[in-house]
Amino acid sequence: MTSLSQQTHTVSRLNRIRSWLGVLFESRMGTVGFVLVSTWLVVSLVSLMWTPHPPTATDFVQNTSPSLQHPLGTDHLGRDLLSRLMAGSQVVLIKTRLNDDVTIPGGVALLGVLGSLIIGSSLGLNSGYRGGWVDTVVMQILDALIAFPRIVLYLIVIAALGQGDPVVILAIVVTGTPGIARLVRGMTLDIKSRDYVQAARTRGEGSRYIMYMEILPNVRGPLIVDATIRVGYAIFMIGTLGFLGIGLPPPDPDWGNMVNEARRFIYSAPLAVVWPSAAIATLVVGLNLLADGLQEEMNRYR
């Protein structure tokens, strides 16, 4: 009986995923975005097992044009650009380096946005549902954070704690939490007066149950769309920090740092700047198109 129940649950989950993908592919923007993001996910997964050359190897001719041996050419140190692009996709999408010996699943951008979602959703739910002094204190703190430009907050966190994947994740959490909290708070203020919430209160359910079991599931649609856009912003910001030389540390390649290093040779080897710039652009645009497609289909079926 247990095995049959597990099989039924698995089939139900697969049907939900198939239905969700079917709805997504009805949107042209969503389809294009899904293809772009999926392509980079596949590239990053493949790079875990294989790259044409070691990403840090400097055994080749410097600043060469694309060839059979180096499909995208080499950089100023003789490193293969295709291998470095592939390895760089791992950092933002599928793995985080805690130290020289330990890595964990989940890219820096994804983990940063996930942390923002968890903390921001909790703050927004409590602020919107409880109101009073809780709402005042939480919103005053978040408004103070929002007053700072994002890049300034990033620089403050990195200057205080140093470079490293965990520090960049923390910077993404600090900058992303206020916006998510305000979004969840606004929707909570609207939802908490709905009939099903009143019914839960009548049944004697506690505040925590109502917030996380009645309200939160009904705000997940806009949250998913917002989180998808925020992953794109986080990837762009990681590239910006890498360009400034304060992003993710070696040995993992950083697309932003690749642009920074290659710009000195932009006239003699312009493709070394073009490839990492195109990687950042296509992934960020793909995430934004995916979010637009999700929003479009949610509005259609609302």
Q: What is the mean pLDDT of residues 9-13?
A: 62
| pLDDT above 60 (res 96) | yes
Q: What was the pLDDT predicted at 272?
A: 92
Residue-wise pLDDT tens digits, 128-140? 999 889 999 999 9
Residue-wise pLDDT tens digits, 192-247? 988 889 898 888 888 999 999 999 998 988 899 999 999 999 999 999 999 988 88
pTM of the model: 0.89
- Burial call 152-188: b when 16+ CB within 10 Å, e when fewer: ebbbebbeeeeebbbbbbbbbbbbbbbbbbbbbbebb
pLDDT confidence tier of residue 9, bands split at 50, 70 and 90: low
The C-alpha atoms of residue 251 and residue 57 are separated, in whole angstroms, by 11
How confident is the prediction for the chain on average, in pLDDT? 88
Closest CA to 60 of 28, 82, 40: 82
Task: For residue 118, count other CB atoms closer than 10 A to its CB.
Answer: 13
Closest CA to 276 of 50, 85, 111, 122: 85
| pLDDT above 90 (res 283) | yes
Question: Are the beta carbons of 253 and 88 closer than 8 angstroms?
Answer: yes
Domains defined along the chain, listed by start: 2-93+253-300 (no CATH), 111-225 (1.10.3720.10)
Q: What is the mean pLDDT of residues 12-17?
A: 65
Of 99 and 281, the structure prediction assigns the larger pLDDT to 281
Query: Does the CA dihedral 142-148-149-154 come out positive or negative?
Result: negative
**Continuous segment of H or E residues that includes residue 190:** helix 165-191
Tokens 């921001």 locate to 120
Q: What is the mean pLDDT of residues 109-124?
A: 95
Q: What was the pLDDT predicted at 5?
A: 57
The C-alpha atoms of residue 221 and residue 181 are separated, in whole angstroms, by 15
